[in-house]
Amino acid sequence: MTVKLSIRNLYKIFGDSPEAALQLLEKGRTKEEILAETGNTVGVQDVNVDIEEGEIFVVMGLSGSGKSTLIRMLNGLIPPTSGDILIDGANVAKAEGEELRSIRREKIAMVFQHFALFPHKTVVDNAAFGLKVKGVGATERRERAMRALEQVGLGAYADSYPEQLSGGMQQRVGLARGLAAEPEVLLMDEPFGALDPLIRRDMQDELIQLQKKLNKTIVFITHDLNEALILGDKIAIMKGGRFVQVGTAEDIVGDPADDYVAAFTKDIDRSRVFKARRVARPAEPLERAGLSRTEALAAMERSGRDAIYVVEDGVPVGVLTYRDLAAASGDDAADAMVAAFPKTRETTPINDLYALAEQGLPIAVVDGEGRLTGVVEPRAIFAELGKEPDAPREAATAVAAE
């Protein structure tokens, strides 16, 4: 994958003596100690991450964790104390004047929680407002604003006014305003935080569907772990200005880095986070051509399986069970093959496998071309969900050291 946004050794210190605060950080002083000693506040400290093109990268943390400071540094609203922010090689952290304006104009757009629509302007004029500020001509900005409104499903409301729209629709206008700039990187600072829970979930689903079409690089800020797990291709958990852990939803829930992360994830429904690949095992299928009942039974006995898949050119065409084979009279395995078998993808959440597991057969896991890549045994699903959550890495390391 191509790295779109690279953040290196990024710090932000608020106060009159940031260099002194940086030196104290290097000596291992805490954020609280530095505030007491220098009066400076550590907003962001030593953030390092690569964000891939087309990825939704979610930064999750409580109030005061530094997440909003971080996102405002990404588009130059807040200058960093030190470090680099590279977008396609252009360094936002070092850019000034026309260079910074060019990056904002061509590379980045931002969507805020409070969408601040102008009540006296139509929906299309609100969506086009950022383009007007940038000096885009009237005809072009209306065309681009209309295109963005169509993308978020509001084309029919172009000539309406904000007061005529619901809260969720108004937020979509805010999103359209960001999309109208046709950015390569979209920064979203708690954009759904002010919405009612049901509308918020609808907006999350809409963003996922929109991203499938647009494939933007998105940095999304939230204080809601469930939202982070729903949206994030990668998630960063932030505390005290630092990234405590960066990984996929499965990484965060299944392998918490410390007690802080574990506390956030302990009540999460693991079946909605863990995917089929977590409980899959090698399929060890048999080739269909010339397969005999005797050969299939012998293969089952060698592998300790009571069901095994049959493939042609890697694609599953049926499943054989030990019981059906043992009861069959002829030696052609096809006579005992079950052609209606459960099938899924490796990215399917475990909770979507329950209905398939009810068939009592191993679930075939296939890739985008329909080839068999593994199987999920029904008992493996419930064994995984019955496990105690993994201990945080810090705790596990400490136990091992003892």
Q: pTM higher than 0.75, yes or no? A: yes
Per-residue pLDDT, 394: 57
**Segment 174-182 mean pLDDT:** 87
Q: In what order do the strands lie in the sheet with 217-222?
A: 108-112, 185-189, 217-222, 56-60, 234-239, 242-247
Over residues 71-105, the pLDDT tens digits come to 999 999 999 999 999 999 899 999 888 888 888 88
Q: In what order do the strands lie in the sheet with 307-312?
A: 286-287, 307-312, 315-321
Residue partners of 227: CB distance under 8 A and separation at least 6: 58, 60, 192, 200, 204
391 — pLDDT class (breaks 50, 70, 90)? low
Three-state SS at 252: helix
Per-residue pLDDT, 401: 44
CA distance 231 to 254: 17
Residue partners of 234: CB distance under 8 A and separation at least 6: 51, 55, 56, 57, 58, 246, 247, 248
182 — pLDDT class (breaks 50, 70, 90)? confident
**Of residues 221 and 391, which shows the higher confidence score?**
221
The DSSP annotation for 143-211 comes to HHHHHHHHHTT-GGGTTS-GGGS-HHHHHHHHHHHHHHT--SEEEEESTTTTS-HHHHHHHHHHHHHHH
- Check if the beta carbon of residue 396 is closer than 8 Å to that of residue 256: no
> What is the Cα Rg of the chain in Å?
27
Task: Please give the DSSP secondary-structure letter assigned to residue 92.
Answer: T
Q: What percent of the chain has a predicted confidence (pLDDT) above 70?
A: 96
Per-residue pLDDT, 310: 95
237: enclosing H helix or E strand: strand 234-239
400 — pLDDT class (breaks 50, 70, 90)? very low
Over residues 317-348, the pLDDT tens digits come to 999 999 999 888 888 888 899 999 999 999 99
Over residues 235-245, the pLDDT tens digits come to 999 999 999 99
276 to 55, 265, 303, 356, 373: CA distances (angstroms): 21, 20, 22, 12, 11
pLDDT beyond 50 at 377: yes
Q: How many residues does the chain have?
A: 402
For helices 31-38 and 18-26, angle between their N-to-C axes, nearest 10 degrees: 140
* Burial class (CB within 10 angstroms; exposed 0-12, middle 13-18, buried 19+) of 40: buried
Per-residue pLDDT, 396: 45
**Of residues 85 and 133, which shows the higher confidence score?**
85
**Segment 220-227 mean pLDDT:** 92
CATH superfamily of 51-77+89-274: P-loop containing nucleotide triphosphate hydrolases (3.40.50.300)
Q: What is the dihedral of CA 341, 347, 348, 350, to 10 degrees?
A: 100
Domain spans of the chain, in order of start: 51-77+89-274, 277-385
360 to 77, 307, 310, 351: CA distances (angstroms): 57, 10, 17, 16
Q: What percent of the chain has a predicted confidence (pLDDT) above 90?
A: 58
User: Average model confidence (pLDDT) for the chain?
Assistant: 89
Q: φ and ψ at 343, to 5 degrees?
A: -145, 145
**Of residues 28 and 234, which shows the higher confidence score?**
234
Pick the CATH number of 277-385 from 3.10.580.10, 3.30.360.10, 3.40.50.300, 3.40.1440.10: 3.10.580.10
- Check if the beta carbon of residue 47 is closer than 8 Å to that of residue 10: yes
390 — pLDDT class (breaks 50, 70, 90)? low
Over residues 282-331, the pLDDT tens digits come to 999 999 988 999 999 999 999 899 999 999 999 999 999 999 998 888 88
